[in-house]
């Protein structure tokens, strides 16, 4: 062994350093930039309400710009067309998309892909896995979709705004969970899980509504190509193809085929999310033993003497195996959700909010709100329909013995969460954009109704839950909960 080369201890000799002994990464260091900028941003991003706050700021910014003296530039930007083609060939739908439509059809496909991942996680390992546990939020969500749609149609059926009945069926998960997090210990974990499961089922309903009722004329050739893309993804899964680049390429083709077929392109994102494997390629129970074997082999190569080309190539290969073992001992579903969730929460959804929240608001519009059937249908559907539908459906399910309240959850919790279900922002705006033409009075009315109802519902739900006693002061008594049922 060379005298001028420090000997690296073998696995038997070395002691594993604690996490605090490892050199900190750049973002964890005490340098001026990470301490002043990076770490505060990361701390903010870890807050449950952070995504909703960023989305709210984006929506307020869009409203401010649209109603400013420079508002025409906001609408001109969104209506700018972006064409993609190859020579004389142009995709039918791609060549017609504006900036706003690129946001709604392309970026939101990634958002709905993450929604598909969340739905599958809940179906495989979450609150929706157990039929009895899933019964209450599923039935409550169904009531929270039917009643708002009925209220909207009661005011708009047969009129110009009739196609917007799907707008008030949606609940915004980010905002609702963010408000619950502000309430603190007054809401038990089981109640938060109930709201999360309800919102997931609500998303499923919204996705089905988009797929069935907001689909244009079908191009059967492209629809067959999309089906072929989904089949190819399934075949690659069965063949244990693991490259995300390959899946991304097939997924991009499938998204394009769905877009060209006439079905809304976000459905491709949901379907691909649901097809993502929820089990890891390597059993995580054997990760420690396999990793230890690889580390021992790396140690053996490093400890044999001066490095040379062949040995370092082998060490590099073993380190690659170790990285692959670490990566593939986690389910692809968990890895993708973990990697994409910040992108959707802090980039895609705020961009969507900015591109869709801008609407001209005048005193004349506000003065005529009580006579605007679309605005009233959306507003009352979200604010009254959600609260009544969720609470009544949950009460009926418990009363009939189909479901039971989660441990620690009382009817006062359910009523407060039902109010929060009236926060319909992201998916509600999305369905509004599908329901009415861009720039139409109906679309503007629907957006104002969404904003007004969401603000009132969020405030009312927060104040309602804030009145409840913290956990440990009577709110987690399952006997009391059952008695109230």
Q: What CA–CA distance (Å, rounded) separates 97 from 81?
A: 6
Q: What CA–CA distance (Å, rounded) separates 306 from 151?
A: 78
Q: What CA–CA distance (Å, rounded) separates 458 from 451?
A: 11
Query: DSSP readout, 332-378?
Result: HHHHHHHHHHHHIIIIIHHHHHHHH------HHHHHTGGG-HHHHHH
Give the residue among 430, 385, 366 at the shortest CA–CA distance from 167: 430
The DSSP code for 385 is I
Q: How far is CA 140 from CA 160, 210, 397, 419, 424, in A?
A: 30, 20, 8, 12, 16
pTM of structure: 0.78
What phi and psi values does residue 89 have, to the nearest 5 degrees? Answer: -90, 130
Q: What CA–CA distance (Å, rounded) separates 476 from 194?
A: 15
Q: How far is CA 374 from CA 74, 306, 421, in A?
A: 24, 77, 20
Residue range 439-464: mean pLDDT, rounded: 90
Q: Long-range contacts of range 72-75, CB-CB < 8 Å, 24 or more positions apart?
A: 74/358, 75/358, 75/439
What is the token pair recorded at 482? 């059952």
Per-residue pLDDT for 482 more than 60?
Answer: no
Per-residue pLDDT for 200 more than 70?
Answer: yes
With bands split at pLDDT 50, 70 and 90, how would you rate the model's confidence at 475? very low
With bands split at pLDDT 50, 70 and 90, how would you rate the model's confidence at 26? low
Phi-psi category of 474—alpha, beta or left, where left has phi over 0 and alpha has psi -120 to 50?
A: left
Q: What CA–CA distance (Å, rounded) separates 175 from 350?
A: 12
Q: Do 417 and 461 meet the contact criterion of CB atoms below 8 Å apart?
A: yes
With bands split at pLDDT 50, 70 and 90, how would you rate the model's confidence at 98? confident
Q: What CA–CA distance (Å, rounded) separates 142 from 139?
A: 5
What would the pLDDT profile of 415-449 be if each residue is shown by its tens digit? 999 999 999 888 888 899 888 988 888 888 899 99
Q: Do 233 and 254 meet the contact criterion of CB atoms below 8 Å apart?
A: yes
Residue range 14-20: mean pLDDT, rounded: 47
Give the residue among 296, 181, 278 at the shortest CA–CA distance from 237: 278
What is the token pair recorded at 445? 């009315």
What would the pLDDT profile of 231-252 be if each residue is shown by its tens digit? 999 999 989 888 889 999 999 9
To 10 degrees, the CA torsion angle through 374, 352, 426, 445?
-10
3-state secondary structure 388-409: HHHHHHHHHHHHCCCCCCCCCC
Angle at 41 between CA 38 and CA 45, to 5 degrees: 135
With bands split at pLDDT 50, 70 and 90, how would you rate the model's confidence at 33? low
- pLDDT recorded at residue 477: 41
With bands split at pLDDT 50, 70 and 90, how would you rate the model's confidence at 153? very high
Q: Do 113 and 340 meet the contact criterion of CB atoms below 8 Å apart?
A: yes
Q: What CA–CA distance (Å, rounded) separates 136 from 144?
A: 12
């Amino acid at each position: 062994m060379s005298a001028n080369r420090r000997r690296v201890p073998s696995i038997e000799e070395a002691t594993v350093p604690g996490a605090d002994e490892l050199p900190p990464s750049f973002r964890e260091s005490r340098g001026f930039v990470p301490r002043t900028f990076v770490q505060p941003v990361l701390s903010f991003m870890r807050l449950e309400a952070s995504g909703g706050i960023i989305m709210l700021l984006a929506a307020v910014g869009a409203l401010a710009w649209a109603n400013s003296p420079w508002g025409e530039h906001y609408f001109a930007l969104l209506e700018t067309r972006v064409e993609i083609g190859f020579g004389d060939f142009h995709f039918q739908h791609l060549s017609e998309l504006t900036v706003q439509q690129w946001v709604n059809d392309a970026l939101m496909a990634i958002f709905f892909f993450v929604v598909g991942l969340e739905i599958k996680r809940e179906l495989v390992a979450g609150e929706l896995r157990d039929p009895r546990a899933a019964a209450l939020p599923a039935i409550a969500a169904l009531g929270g979709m039917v009643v708002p749609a009925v209220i909207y149609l009661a005011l708009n059926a047969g009129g110009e705004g009739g196609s917007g009945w799907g707008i008030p069926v949606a609940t915004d998960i980010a905002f609702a969970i963010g408000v619950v997090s502000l309430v603190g210990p007054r809401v038990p974990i089981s109640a938060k899980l109930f709201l999360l499961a309800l919102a997931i089922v609500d998303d499923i309903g919204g996705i089905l509504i988009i797929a069935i009722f907001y689909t244009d004329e079908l191009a059967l050739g492209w629809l067959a190509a999309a089906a072929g893309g989904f089949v190819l993804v399934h075949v690659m899964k069965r063949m244990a193809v693991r490259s995300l680049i390959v899946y991304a390429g097939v997924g991009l083709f499938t998204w394009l085929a769905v877009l060209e077929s006439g079905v809304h392109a976000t459905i491709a994102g949901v379907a691909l999310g649901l097809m993502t494997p929820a089990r890891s390629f390597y059993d995580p129970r054997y990760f420690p033993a396999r990793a230890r074997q690889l580390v021992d082999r790396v140690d053996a190569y490093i400890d044999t003497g001066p490095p040379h080309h062949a040995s370092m190539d082998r060490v590099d290969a073993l380190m690659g195996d170790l990285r692959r073992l670490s990566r593939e001992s986690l389910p692809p579903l968990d890895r993708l959700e973990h990697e994409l969730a910040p992108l959707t929460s802090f980039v895609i959804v705020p961009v969507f909010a900015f591109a869709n929240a801008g609407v001209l608001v005048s005193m004349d519009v506000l003065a005529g709100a009580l006579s605007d059937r679309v605005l009233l249908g959306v507003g009352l559907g979200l604010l009254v329909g959600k609260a009544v539908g969720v609470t009544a459906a949950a009460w009926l399910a418990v009363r009939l013995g189909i479901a039971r309240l989660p441990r620690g959850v009382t009817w006062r919790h359910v009523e407060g969460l039902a109010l929060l279900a009236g926060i319909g922002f992201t998916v509600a705006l999305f369905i509004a954009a599908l329901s009415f033409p861009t720039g139409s009075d109906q679309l503007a009315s629907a957006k104002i109704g969404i904003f007004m109802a969401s603000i009132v519902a969020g405030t009312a739900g927060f104040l309602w839950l804030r009145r409840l006693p913290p956990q440990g002061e009577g709110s987690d008594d399952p006997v009391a909960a059952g008695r109230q049922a």
